[in-house]
């Protein structure tokens, strides 16, 4: 038994960690140690990858590439391969992952099980849209392949399936041609949600990646930075060097707190407006800004933090976002990392995929009672608008909220593996 935390660091309960390292013998390991749940890089924020006092199947050792066809861009790899390694290996060879989330320190298995999205959702869809096939190992020893064209029902259940349909052992991914590691990026400061929606409406045609950072202390008349970028074959003529830093210790209290929140947001805004106009940016700091500070989750101190990420549909969405921002400002809670983005209309491939047409808002909150009270108000706004919360980020949504947000849950449940159980599955599905 050893203590294991997820990214939010809300708990560090002991787990019986079983290392999966041999892809041909996963079934034996699952049969011998269950019930459990697969654990990759531990980047989900809440309890999705946790099973306190129970078994975790660690997939970090399943990190081998199996084949790559440079004619078609198809990559077959084990599920524990980290997206960063694929990007660093393949971009110099002219290929990249079509969809990447805001951190590249996640495994392929985790990216599928959460059907993650990126800043290019409007054009590229979700991670699951680029999976040709995957291999699922069930706790009864069954090994099955599935994909959009083969056992599509199993595929739809497994993509975004929170790791509950079996352990994803390997996958065949479609990469896409990449002109190089640089992006032509532009930062547009704006004030007010109307300006945000105008920028979002214009962007899809011209920009591959779009996302907006907002100052969560500025309320409904929000101040933000709209970030947009396109891949480019241009290069600044100098090699890029990662200047990754690390948060070396867990401070005794959260460094993001009521005293620092406003000034941190101002400072971030000021930094962002320093470079107006277009400029060349390496894909790593643009797509994964937080990976530049290892262990940044320690900033929130020993009690950890929550992330609240929801999506609300386009009709009631703008008003819902306004209401949420007002509530957050009134509560005086929030973080330096508040993100607003519009999703495209493409329906996601999984029964429980988070992405839906509309607007998504994501914010971190230090773990204290005020934040939990605020979440209840935000939940009410999201439910009223017909939205949903992202399980990968969640540690606390009520079961009714999950059931209301994911109407296809009933279709999903028959595909669950009875030998798989996580703290989240018990909280949201009762087992």
Partner 1 sequence: MNAKTRIVVIGATSAIAEHCCRLWVERGPVDLTLVARDATRTERIATDLRVRGPASTVTVMTADFVDAKDIARVAKATTDAGAVDIVLIAHGAMPKQELCADIDFCRETLEINAVSPALFAEAFAGHFATANHGTIAIIGSVAGDRGRKVNYTYGASKGLIERYAQGLDHRFAGSGVSVVLLKPGPTDTPMAAEHKAKGRKLASAEQVARTIVQGIDRRKFVVYAPPLWQLIMLIVRHLPRFIFNRLSL
Indicate the SS3 state at residue 380: helix
Query: Should residue 207 be labelled a site residue for partner 1 when binding is judged by CB under 8 A?
Result: no
* Residues forming a β-bridge with 136: 144, 168
Query: Should residue 295 be labelled a site residue for partner 1 when binding is judged by CB under 8 A?
Result: no
Query: Should residue 226 be labelled a site residue for partner 1 when binding is judged by CB under 8 A?
Result: no
Query: Should residue 19 be labelled a site residue for partner 1 when binding is judged by CB under 8 A?
Result: yes
Query: Should residue 141 be labelled a site residue for partner 1 when binding is judged by CB under 8 A?
Result: no
Q: Which of 7, 39, 45, 68 binds partner 1 (CB under 8 A)?
A: 68
* Residue whose tokens read 């939010």: 8
Query: Should residue 13 be labelled a site residue for partner 1 when binding is judged by CB under 8 A?
Result: no
Q: How many CA atoms lie within 13 A of 115 on its CB side?
A: 26
Query: Should residue 238 be labelled a site residue for partner 1 when binding is judged by CB under 8 A?
Result: no
Residue pair 171/77 in contact by the 8 Å Cβ criterion? yes
Calculate the CA dihedral of residues 201, 202, 204, 210 and round it to 10 degrees: -80
Q: Which of 7, 8, 9, 23 binds partner 1 (CB under 8 A)?
A: 23
Query: Taking the complex as a whole, how short is the minimal distance between the CB of residue 93 and partner 1, in angstroms?
Result: 8
* Residues forming a β-bridge with 184: 230, 280
Query: Taking the complex as a whole, how short is the minimal distance between the CB of residue 76 and partner 1, in angstroms?
Result: 9
What string marks each residue from 71 to 110 as x (binds partner 1 by CB under 8 A) or -? ----x-------------x---------------------
Query: Should residue 17 be labelled a site residue for partner 1 when binding is judged by CB under 8 A?
Result: yes
Query: Could you count the other beta carbons within 10 Å of the beta carbon of residue 263?
Result: 11
Q: Which of 32, 67, 71, 248 binds partner 1 (CB under 8 A)?
A: 67
Query: Taking the complex as a whole, how short is the minimal distance between the CB of residue 20 and partner 1, in angstroms?
Result: 10
> What is residue 127's DSSP assignment?
G
Angle (CA) 158-164-168 rounded to 5° is 55
Residue 346 to residues 38, 103, 121, 308, 357: CA-CA distances in angstroms?
29, 23, 9, 23, 7
Query: Should residue 280 be labelled a site residue for partner 1 when binding is judged by CB under 8 A?
Result: no
Alpha-carbon torsion (363, 364, 370, 372), positive or negative:
positive
Query: Taking the complex as a whole, how short is the minimal distance between the CB of residue 85 and partner 1, in angstroms?
Result: 9
Pick the piece of the chain touching partner 1 (CB under 8 A) from 63-71, 118-126, 127-135, 345-353.
63-71
Query: Taking the complex as a whole, how short is the minimal distance between the CB of residue 14 and partner 1, in angstroms?
Result: 9
Render 139-176 in DSSP notation, one character per residue. TTS-EEEEBTTBSHHHHHHHTTSTT-SSEEEEEEEE-E
Residues forming the site for partner 1 (CB under 8 A):
1-3, 17, 19, 21-24, 61, 64-68, 70, 75, 89
């Amino acid at each position: 038994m050893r203590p294991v935390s997820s990214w939010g660091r809300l708990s560090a309960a002991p787990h019986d960690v079983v290392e999966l390292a041999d892809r041909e013998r996963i079934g034996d390991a699952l049969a011998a140690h269950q019930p459990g749940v697969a654990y990759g890089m531990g980047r989900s924020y809440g309890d999705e990858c946790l099973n306190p006092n129970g078994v975790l199947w660690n997939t970090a050792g399943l990190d081998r590439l199996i084949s790559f066809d440079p004619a078609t861009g198809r990559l077959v790899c084990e599920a524990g391969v980290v997206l960063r390694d694929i990007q660093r290996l393949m971009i110099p060879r002219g290929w990249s992952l079509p969809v990447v989330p805001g951190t590249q320190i996640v495994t392929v298995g985790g990216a599928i099980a959460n059907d993650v999205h990126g800043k290019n959702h409007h054009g590229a869809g979700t991670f699951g849209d680029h999976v040709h096939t995957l291999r699922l190992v069930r706790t009864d020893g069954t090994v099955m392949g599935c994909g959009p064209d083969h056992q599509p029902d199993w595929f739809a259940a497994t993509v975004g399936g929170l790791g509950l349909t079996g352990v994803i052992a390997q996958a065949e991914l479609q990469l896409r041609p990449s002109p190089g590691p640089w992006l032509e990026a532009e930062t547009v400061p704006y004030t007010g949600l109307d300006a945000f929606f105008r920028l979002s409406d214009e962007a899809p045609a011209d920009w591959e990646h779009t996302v907006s950072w907002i100052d969560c202390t500025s309320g409904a008349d929000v101040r933000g930075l709209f970030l947009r970028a396109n891949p480019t074959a241009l290069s600044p003529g100098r090699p890029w060097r990662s200047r990754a830093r690390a948060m070396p210790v867990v401070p005794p209290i959260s460094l993001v707190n009521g005293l620092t929140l406003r000034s941190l947001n101002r400072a971030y805004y000021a930094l962002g407006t320093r470079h107006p106009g277009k400029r060349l940016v390496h894909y790593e700091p643009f797509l994964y800004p937080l990976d530049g500070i290892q262990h940044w989750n320690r900033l929130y101190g020993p009690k950890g933090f929550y992330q609240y990420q929801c999506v609300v549909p386009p009709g009631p969405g703008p008003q819902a976002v306004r209401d949420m921002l007002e509530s957050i400002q009134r509560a005086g809670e929030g973080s330096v990392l508040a993100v607003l983005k519009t999703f495209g209309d493409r329906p996601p491939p999984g029964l429980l995929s988070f992405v839906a047409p509309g607007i998504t808002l994501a914010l971190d909150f230090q773990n204290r009672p005020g934040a939990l009270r605020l979440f209840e108000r935000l939940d009410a706004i999201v439910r009223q608008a017909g939205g949903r919360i992202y399980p990968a980020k969640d540690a606390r949504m009520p079961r009714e909220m999950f059931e209301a947000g994911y109407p296809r849950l009933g279709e999903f449940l028959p595909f669950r593996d009875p030998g798989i159980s996580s703290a989240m599955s018990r909280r949201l599905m009762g087992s």
